[in-house]
């Protein structure tokens, strides 16, 4: 009975945990545009990849620094000799073998010679250990290389900044798209409600013989066209929401709600670029990246030039054997100094220096060209922004007028003063104005986001 009770309690706990987990997954994630951008900076895959590049560059610096620090290595070697060489010193005279107190003859002397034992010049099995401590004392290429990896890290950091800036602009553009499509859907659904009511009234009047079938058909066509347009905009909005989640690095099944609104973005307080801002080229992340590439090219030139310098290193080595032979001439402790002086390479070094110098000149030209291009990009973006703002103001007036005309025509039609054809025309005119209006809003907001990126305004 106790065991059953335990299983029952565990089952209840697991059920509650699953329910809570499902509630967390179904929770709506509310996002302002700044929150969406911040989420993307933490979860966007491209941004994460750029951060990994910075980490790699950091590790490369440590790797390069380590080249100039003391190096300790252990080498071991096992050897087995099938035949061990033997050294023999020949025969020798053994005085103890000579007879005592008698006259020694030639035969006695010859008999006193004995064969000396052989001496092994090695061992059949032996294991050796070599411990070597080395230190680089001077290397021009190493010193220049150390500068190079530090600059490469700075380049990767600036590339990360650029990626984050581009990601924020992209997220903002899609965020604006979702908002604009949402506002457009509201207007379209309001129009559909209005025309649906008109259609129902016409159908009833037609059943009583107060109007023609063509009047009803004309309005029904308008209703169908509007319904089809709403379906299309809804699909576009769903795709845009998925695109926003993708850009943010969020799962597609996570429900989100955008908390900012179109009126907030198009208010006069957010239109700070109506007065032409000042563009500082040195603050542009693109220009700073190009400038950093010039510095990299300069360091690479110095690296090639440093190869004319000598390299100096020192070492200490300890040699040990587990089974040393009787005659062992190996030195156990050894200290030394290595000097490598480049003398002649048949013009290879000179050619590499010339190539590096040309690469530096090319990068300087690229820097100058990039500067002019960025100034032109800023001026074009500013013109696009100001043009978009003028179009937005024009379309704001246009949608008000077309809505007023449509509402009056609808009243006249309900009173029997105008025709269904004129009502349909005015409705089409209003929907066109509505489309142009929201399109101009999206163009204006995208132009602002582009200028924010160019001017590095958060």
CATH number for the domain spanning 225: value is 1.20.1600.10
Q: Are 434 and 426 in contact (CB under 8 A)?
A: no
At a CB cut-off of 8 Å and minimum separation 6, what does 172 contact?
Answer: 33, 37, 445, 446, 449, 452
Read off the pLDDT of each residue in 50-79 and give the average, rounded to a whole number.
91
Same domain, 117 and 175: no
How confident is the model at residue 411, as a pLDDT?
Answer: 82
Same domain, 442 and 385: yes
Same domain, 110 and 259: no
Read off the pLDDT of each residue in 128-134 and give the average, rounded to a whole number.
92
Same domain, 105 and 218: no
Same domain, 111 and 256: no
How confident is the model at residue 11, as a pLDDT?
Answer: 39
* Euclidean distance between CA atoms 373 and 443, whole angstroms: 22
pLDDT tier for residue 15 given thresholds of 50, 70 and 90: very low
pLDDT tier for residue 235 given thresholds of 50, 70 and 90: very high
pLDDT in tens, 312-339: 999 999 988 888 777 777 788 899 999 8
In a domain, 395, yes or no: yes
How confident is the model at residue 234, as a pLDDT?
Answer: 94
Read off the pLDDT of each residue in 278-297 and give the average, rounded to a whole number.
89
Worst-scoring range by mean pLDDT, 14-18, 57-61, 111-115, 339-343?
Answer: 14-18
Per-residue exposure over 219-246, b if at least 16 CB sit within 10 Å of its own CB, e if not? beebbeebeebbeebeeebeebbebbbe
* Euclidean distance between CA atoms 440 and 159, whole angstroms: 32
Same domain, 155 and 251: yes
Compare 410 and 185 and report the one with higher pLDDT. Answer: 185
Of 37, 35, 247, 67, nearest to 149 (Cα)? Answer: 67
Q: Are 6 and 123 in contact (CB under 8 A)?
A: no
Read off the pLDDT of each residue in 100-114 and give the average, rounded to a whole number.
72
Same domain, 45 and 187: yes
In a domain, 275, yes or no: yes
Beta strands in 65-192 (DSSP E): 71-80, 86-87, 91-93, 113-115, 119-120, 125-139
Give percent of the chain above pLDDT 90: 40
Q: Is the pLDDT of residue 364 over 90?
A: yes
How confident is the model at residue 232, as a pLDDT?
Answer: 93
How confident is the model at residue 413, as a pLDDT?
Answer: 75
Read off the pLDDT of each residue in 267-293 and give the average, rounded to a whole number.
84
In a domain, 18, yes or no: no
Distances (CA, A) of 334 to 70, 158, 224, 315, 337: 17, 48, 96, 8, 10
pLDDT tier for residue 211 given thresholds of 50, 70 and 90: low
What mean pLDDT value characterizes the chain? 84
Q: Is the pLDDT of residue 202 over 50?
A: yes
Give percent of the chain above pLDDT 70: 90
At a CB cut-off of 8 Å and minimum separation 6, what does 105 contact?
Answer: none
In a domain, 322, yes or no: no
Of 196, 138, 171, nearest to 36 (Cα)? Answer: 171
Distances (CA, A) of 159 to 155, 172, 369: 6, 20, 19
In a domain, 335, yes or no: no
Same domain, 172 and 231: yes
Same domain, 363 and 224: yes
In a domain, 6, yes or no: no
User: pTM here?
Assistant: 0.77
Read off the pLDDT of each residue in 421-443 and give the average, rounded to a whole number.
87
At a CB cut-off of 8 Å and minimum separation 6, what does 243 contact?
Answer: 174, 177
Worst-scoring range by mean pLDDT, 4-13, 332-341, 377-386, 449-458?
Answer: 4-13
**C-beta neighbour count of 214 within 10 angstroms:** 11
How confident is the model at residue 269, as a pLDDT?
Answer: 60
How confident is the model at residue 12, as a pLDDT?
Answer: 41
Per-residue exposure over 328-367, b if at least 16 CB sit within 10 Å of its own CB, e if not? eeeeeeeeeeeeeeeeeeeeeeeebbeebbebbeebbeeb
Distances (CA, A) of 67 to 21, 61, 70, 130, 337: 51, 10, 8, 21, 17
Burial, 70: exposed, middle or buried (Cβ in 10 Å; 0-12, 13-18, 19+)?
A: exposed
In a domain, 21, yes or no: no
Of 447, 455, 366, 446, nearest to 179 (Cα)? Answer: 446
Same domain, 207 and 111: no
In a domain, 84, yes or no: no
Total tally of structural domains belonging to the chain? 2
Read off the pLDDT of each residue in 439-454 and give the average, rounded to a whole number.
91
> Which residues is 78 bridged to in the sheet?
127
pLDDT tier for residue 275 given thresholds of 50, 70 and 90: confident
Structural domain harbouring 416: 27-71+138-310+345-454
pLDDT tier for residue 19 given thresholds of 50, 70 and 90: very low
Summary count for the chain: helices (H), strands (E): 10, 10
Phi-psi region of 162 (alpha: psi -120 to 50; beta: other; left: phi over 0): alpha
DSSP string for 216-270? HHHHHHHHHHHHHHHHHHHHHHHHHHHHHHHHHT--TTS-EEE---HHHHTSGGG
Same domain, 107 and 225: no
How confident is the model at residue 22, as a pLDDT?
Answer: 41
pLDDT tier for residue 274 given thresholds of 50, 70 and 90: confident
How confident is the model at residue 10, as a pLDDT?
Answer: 38
Q: Which two tokens stand for residue 171?
A: 């997220």
How confident is the model at residue 16, as a pLDDT?
Answer: 41
Q: Are 168 and 93 in contact (CB under 8 A)?
A: no
Q: Which two tokens stand for residue 245?
A: 């989640």
Q: Are 323 and 125 in contact (CB under 8 A)?
A: yes
> Which stretch, 220-229, 349-358, 411-420, has highest mean pLDDT?
349-358
Same domain, 384 and 425: yes
């Amino acid at each position: 009975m106790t065991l059953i009770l335990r299983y029952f309690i565990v089952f209840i706990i697991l059920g509650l945990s699953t329910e809570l987990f499902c509630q967390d997954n179904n929770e709506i994630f509310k996002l302002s545009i700044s929150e969406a951008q911040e989420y993307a900076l933490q979860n966007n895959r491209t941004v994460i990849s750029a951060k990994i590049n910075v980490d790699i560059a950091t590790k490369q610096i440590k790797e390069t620094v380590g080249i100039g620090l003391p190096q300790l290595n252990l080498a071991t070697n096992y050897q087995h000799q099938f035949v061990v060489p033997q050294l023999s010193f020949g025969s020798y005279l053994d005085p103890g073998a000579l007879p005592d107190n008698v006259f020694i003859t030639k035969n006695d002397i010859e008999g006193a010679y004995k064969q000396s034992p052989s001496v092994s010049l090695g061992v059949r099995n032996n294991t050796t250990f070599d411990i070597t401590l080395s230190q680089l004392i001077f290397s021009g290429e190493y010193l220049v290389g150390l500068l190079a990896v530090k600059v490469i890290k700075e380049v990767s950091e600036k590339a990360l900044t650029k990626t984050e800036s581009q990601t924020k602009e992209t997220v903002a553009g899609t965020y604006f798209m979702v908002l604009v499509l949402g506002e457009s859907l509201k207007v379209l659904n309001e129009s559909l409600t209005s025309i649906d009511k008109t259609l129902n009234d016409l159908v009833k009047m037609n059943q009583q013989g107060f109007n023609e079938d063509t009047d009803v058909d004309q309005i029904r066509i308008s209703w169908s066209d509007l319904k089809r347009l709403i379906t299309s905009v809804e699909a576009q909005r769903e795709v845009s929401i998925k695109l926003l989640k993708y850009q943010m690095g969020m799962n597609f099944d996570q429900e989100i709600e955008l908390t900012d609104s179109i009126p907030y973005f198009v208010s006069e307080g957010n239109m700070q670029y109506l007065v032409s801002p000042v563009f500082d080229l040195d603050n542009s992340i693109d220009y700073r990246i190009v400038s950093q590439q010039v510095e990299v090219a300069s360091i690479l030139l110095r690296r090639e030039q440093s190869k004319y310098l000598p390299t100096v290193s020192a070492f200490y080595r300890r040699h040990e054997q587990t089974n040393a032979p009787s005659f062992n001439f190996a030195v156990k402790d050894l200290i030394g100094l290595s000097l490598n002086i480049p003398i002649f390479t048949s013009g290879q070094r000179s050619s590499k220096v010339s190539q590096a110098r040309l690469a530096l000149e090319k990068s300087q030209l690229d820097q100058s060209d990039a500067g002019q291009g960025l100034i032109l990009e800023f001026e074009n973006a500013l013109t696009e922004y100001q043009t978009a703002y003028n179009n937005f103001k024009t379309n704001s007036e246009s949608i008000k007028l077309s809505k007023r005309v449509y509402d009056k025509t609808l009243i006249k039609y309900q009173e029997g003063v105008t025709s269904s054809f004129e009502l349909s025309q005015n409705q089409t005119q209003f929907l066109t104005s509505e489309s142009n209006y929201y399109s101009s809003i999206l163009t204006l907001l995208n132009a602002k986001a582009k200028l924010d990126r160019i001017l590095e305004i958060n």
